[in-house]
């Protein structure tokens, strides 16, 4: 019997990488999911990622890279002293939530894992959108990282970002088509019991559900009537 090809999936526990994880499974890969503890302000999404992989029977590692926290601490996502922007994504709020060189660091480690287990492919959840894109979610970044991943080891590794050109609502549409349960994801930048509904990440997520006429199955601190693009 021919065994399934292996893939490493960078899986944060958020809705994009959750969809990517299922996309890789759908394509027939034996998936090895990697989550990274890089000093996020909270670990809600890591707990969610662990639970999802357990329920799917997918190999999963949470890689503790907090030792490098001092190198990447100048971000609202990794520094509790910085205020979390409560607004739609604009250039200023996006800049404050950029973790320095995050995707290059995480991809570098994921490529190492792929080489280590004889996988050919690394998946990650870069996506497009109408707002200013994070530099390490841009097609040219993926292209150039792919070129490096092809020659950095004796075995070439391919980086796939299946939603590179997709908006959030298009990723959600792909997930809905796969009948995914988005209550099993955590997107909020805050790590409280319920999602805040106010950070850029919550807002983008709520807009994606609203664009499909759906309500988000996740619990929010804001009253349900405040959901939707009209009040954001």
Interface ranges with Zn ion (CB under 5 A): 188, 196, 199, 202
d(CA 156, CA 205): 35
Q: Give the residue with the Cβ less far from Zn ion, 100 or 219.
A: 219
Q: Give the residue with the Cβ less far from Zn ion, 42 or 102.
A: 42
Residue 199 counted as an annotated binding residue? yes
DSSP letter string, 41-83: S--HHHHHHHHHHHHHT-EEEEEE-GGGGGGS-SSTTT-TTSP
Q: Give the residue with the Cβ less far from Zn ion, 6 or 131.
A: 131
> What's the min distance (Å) between Cβ of 227 and Zn ion?
12
Residue 211 counted as an annotated binding residue? no
Residue 189 counted as an annotated binding residue? no
Q: Give the residue with the Cβ less far from Zn ion, 119 or 188.
A: 188
Nearest to 16 by CA among 122, 191, 229, 166: 166
> What's the min distance (Å) between Cβ of 196 and Zn ion?
4
> What's the min distance (Å) between Cβ of 190 and Zn ion?
5
> What's the min distance (Å) between Cβ of 220 and Zn ion?
8
DSSP, collapsed to helix, strand or coil, labels residue 11 as coil
Neighbours of 75 (CB within 10 A): 18
Residue 17 counted as an annotated binding residue? yes
Residue 137 counted as an annotated binding residue? no
| CB 200 within 8 Å of CB 175 | no
> What's the min distance (Å) between Cβ of 199 and Zn ion?
3
Residue 95 counted as an annotated binding residue? no
Nearest to 13 by CA among 58, 43, 57: 43
Q: Give the residue with the Cβ less far from Zn ion, 24 or 188.
A: 188
Residues annotated within the binding site for ATP are 11-21
Residues annotated within the binding site for Zn(2+) are 188, 196, 199, 202
């Amino acid at each position: 019997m021919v065994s399934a090809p292996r893939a490493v999936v960078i899986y944060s526990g958020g809705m994009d990488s959750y969809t990517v994880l299922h996309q890789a499974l759908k394509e027939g890969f034996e998936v090895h999911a990697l989550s990274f503890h890089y000093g996020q302000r909270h670990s809600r999404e890591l707990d969610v990622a662990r639970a999802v992989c357990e329920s799917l029977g997918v190999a999963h590692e949470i890689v503790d890279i907090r030792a490098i926290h001092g190198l990447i601490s100048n971000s609202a996502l990794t520094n509790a002293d910085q205020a979390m922007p409560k607004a739609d994504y604009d250039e200023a709020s996006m800049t404050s939530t950029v973790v320095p060189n995050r995707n290059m660091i995480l991809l570098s480690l994921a490529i190492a894992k792929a080489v280590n287990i004889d996988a050919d492919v690394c998946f990650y959840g870069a996506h497009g959108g109408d707002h200013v894109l994070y530099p390490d979610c841009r097609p040219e970044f993926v292209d150039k990282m792919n070129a490096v991943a092809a020659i950095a080891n004796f075995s070439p590794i391919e980086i796939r970002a299946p939603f590179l050109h997709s908006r959030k609502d298009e990723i959600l549409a792909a997930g809905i088509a796969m009948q995914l349960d988005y209550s099993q994801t955590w997107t909020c930048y805050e790590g409280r019991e319920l999602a805040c509904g106010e950070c850029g990440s919550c807002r983008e997520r709520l807009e994606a559900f609203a664009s499909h006429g759906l309500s988000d199955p996740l619990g929010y601190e804001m009253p349900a009537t405040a959901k939707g693009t009209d009040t954001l």
